[in-house]
A = this chain, B = another copy of it.
Amino acid sequence: MNLFERTGKIALGSRLRLLSSRMTDDATKIYRMYELELSPNWFPVLFILSQDGAKTITEIAEEIGHSQPSVTKIVKEMTKSALIAKHPYAQDKRRNMVALTEKGMAAAQHIIDVQCKDVDAAVDALLAQANHNLWEALAEWEFLLDQKSLFHRVNEQRKLRESQKVKIVEYSPEYKEAFKNLNEEWISKYFIMEKEDYKALDHPQEYILEPGGKIKVALYDNEPVGVCALIKMKDPEYDFELAKMGVSPKAQGKSIGYLLGKSVLEEAKKLGAKKLYLESNTVLKPAISLYQKLGFQKVAHRPTPYSRSNIQMALVIED
């Protein structure tokens, strides 16, 4: 069986490279057949100059999707072959206006009138023989990858898979140590532990659960890797505070924060909460964006026992 059928889609890059090198090799032969003394890789530059007239090297590079040094090199070669001439640009001495010479124009005209037509016809005949249109498929991929890169897409898949291995469970005393450690880790990394922290982390039973709050624990391979608390508030406006969310840096990239948040939100809904509150600090950018993703929005400042808090957010729970 074909290598690519065996490896699967992961070899798509290789497969494209192989086909493209095959085409490039044939291109060399094709150019030789038409007896124009030019190298196939000059074509994009030749074409763009024949259509758009004089251009700077940087403009050409942008237009044809090459790097600037690549165009510099091609222009140098084409200048040597007298297809191109450089014209200094009075208004801006850094720029070199690059334009086709008479010979260059003639070559471009010939290649466009004759060679392109033959190649077009040959490729069209090939496309007609195939069930799946390669040309259109390439255009679609360019478009889709512009919107979201392959890296981005693979990363999403990875997260999805990893997050399926994460289990969110109810707090029980066996997680007491994890609850403290996972929070202490980030708090002492960015700030310092405060009195209020010790109260809640050392005595979750008394300070969180008994007053009517909840704690959720994220397990990965049965190890606790994330925690999040829902703390009952004595406030006419808010029912609960989302707090003490900590995720192990070792377990990042598995959407654990999101899964914990979602689970806590569900819990709040079950408990009949109407509005949730949280406090954070703007240096914790990933946390803030997670809160936004969960639906929290910034609210005006209100008194807080934590000195690290410089942003407050709220979420209205919908039915």
Enumerate chain A interface residues (CB-CB to B < 8 A).
2-20, 22-24, 26-27, 29-30, 33-34, 40, 43-44, 47-48, 51, 63-65, 114-126, 129-142, 144-145, 149-151, 153-158, 160-161
Contact = CB atoms under 8 A, between A and B. Distances in A.
A137 B133 contact: yes
Contacts of A6: 47, 51
Given A18-B65, A114-B161, 11 more contacts: A10-B115, A12-B23, A13-B40, A22-B145, A117-B161, A119-B157, A122-B153, A125-B153, A126-B144, A131-B136, A131-B140
Nearest to A40: B13
Copies of this protein, total: 2
A136 B29 CA distance: 27
A144 B44 CA distance: 26
A136 to B, nearest CB: 4
A64 B134 contact: no
A119 B48 contact: no
B19 A24 contact: no
Contacts of A130: 137, 140-141, 144
Given A3-B63, A19-B142, A130-B141, A135 B9 contact: yes
B129 A132 contact: no
Given A121-B157, A132-B132, A137-B133, A20 B23 contact: no
A114 B18 CA distance: 25
Contacts of A51: 6
Contacts of A15: 138
Contacts of A157: 117-119, 121-122, 125
Nearest to A141: B134
A205 to B, nearest CB: 39
Pick the 3 closest A-B CB pairs, nearest first.
A16-B20, A13-B23, A9-B123
Nearest to A47: B7
A20 B145 CA distance: 12
B141 A8 contact: no
Contacts of A40: 13
A58 to B, nearest CB: 16
Contact of A150 (B7, B30, B137): B30
Contact of A134 (B2, B29, B125, B137): B137
Nearest to A13: B23
A43 B11 CA distance: 8
A29 B65 contact: no
A139 to B, nearest CB: 7
27 contacts: A3-B44, A7-B43, A8-B120, A9-B116, A9-B135, A10-B116, A11-B43, A12-B134, A12-B138, A13-B23, A13-B27, A16-B19, A16-B20, A16-B138, A17-B24, A20-B20, A22-B150, A117-B157, A122-B154, A122-B156, A122-B157, A126-B141, A129-B144, A130-B137, A132-B137, A132-B140, A137-B137
